[in-house]
């Protein structure tokens, strides 16, 4: 999950899912990953874009997991964000999807756009948007809301031509008034 999240930056889930089987067939532990030739990793993950930077981060991250975390991916926000290539959004996704223990709301392009349109936040910086969301959304909903933003953004509240007339939350939306 950690590596998939790193690969998903500026890349579709579909593309990541096509790439990871080849990568994990060869390198399925941090120990195997650190021994890999970076050119081999670059070749495999090339379709995901930004492959040079992502390869560097994958290797550095694997090294840090071995050296600082006994080879185990940490299961908390603070330590996850110490890993190269992992920021708050990625740490939120890993806590949600890998550990089933969401600690916040991953503000991706969908969450930011919807939060701005509905009126949850006027901020543009994702971390500030998340702070605004966390003040308004109770913790018991973190699991669902992370998925709801993505699905609502893909199916209804798209960047261009949102389907406002059919939107189930239009009566709460500042953009619709
Ligand atoms: S009413 Fe329109 S802008 Fe508001 S959340 Fe629904 S689709 Fe998005």
pLDDT tens profile 16-71: 999 999 999 999 999 999 999 999 999 999 999 999 999 999 999 999 999 999 99
Q: What value, to the nearest 5°, has the Cα angle with vertex 73 and ends 72 and 76?
A: 125
- Exactly one of 64, 89, 112, 132 is catalytic; which is it? 89
Q: Taking the domains of the chain in order of start, what are their residue ranges?
A: 2-97, 109-172
| CATH architecture label of 2-97 | Orthogonal Bundle (1.10)
Based on the residue annotation, tell me whether 35 is a catalytic residue of this protein.
Answer: no
Fold of 109-172: Endonuclease Iii, domain 2 (1.10.1670)
Question: Which pTM value belongs to this model?
Answer: 0.91
Q: What tens digit of pLDDT does each residue of 110-122 get?
A: 999 999 999 999 9
C-alpha of residue 155 to centroid of ligand 1, in Å: 11
């Amino acid at each position: 999950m950690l590596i998939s999240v790193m690969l998903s930056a500026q890349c579709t889930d579909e593309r990541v899912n096509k790439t990871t089987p080849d990568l994990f067939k060869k390198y399925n532990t941090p120990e195997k990953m650190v021994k890999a030739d970076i050119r081999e990793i670059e070749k495999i993950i090339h379709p995901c874009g930004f492959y040079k930077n992502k390869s560097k981060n994958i290797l550095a991250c694997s090294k840090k997991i071995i050296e600082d975390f006994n080879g185990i991916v940490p299961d908390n926000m603070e330590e996850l964000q110490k890993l190269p290539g992992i920021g708050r959004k990625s740490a939120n996704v890993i806590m949600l999807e890998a550990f089933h223990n969401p600690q916040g709301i991953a503000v991706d392009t969908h969450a930011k756009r919807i939060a701005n349109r509905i009126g949850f936040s006027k901020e543009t910086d994702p971390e500030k948007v998340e702070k605004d969301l966390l003040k308004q959304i109770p913790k018991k909903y973190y699991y669902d809301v992370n998925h709801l933003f993505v699905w609502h953004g893909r199916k209804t509240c798209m960047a261009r031509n949102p389907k406002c007339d059919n939107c189930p939350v239009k009566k709460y939306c500042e953009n619709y008034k």
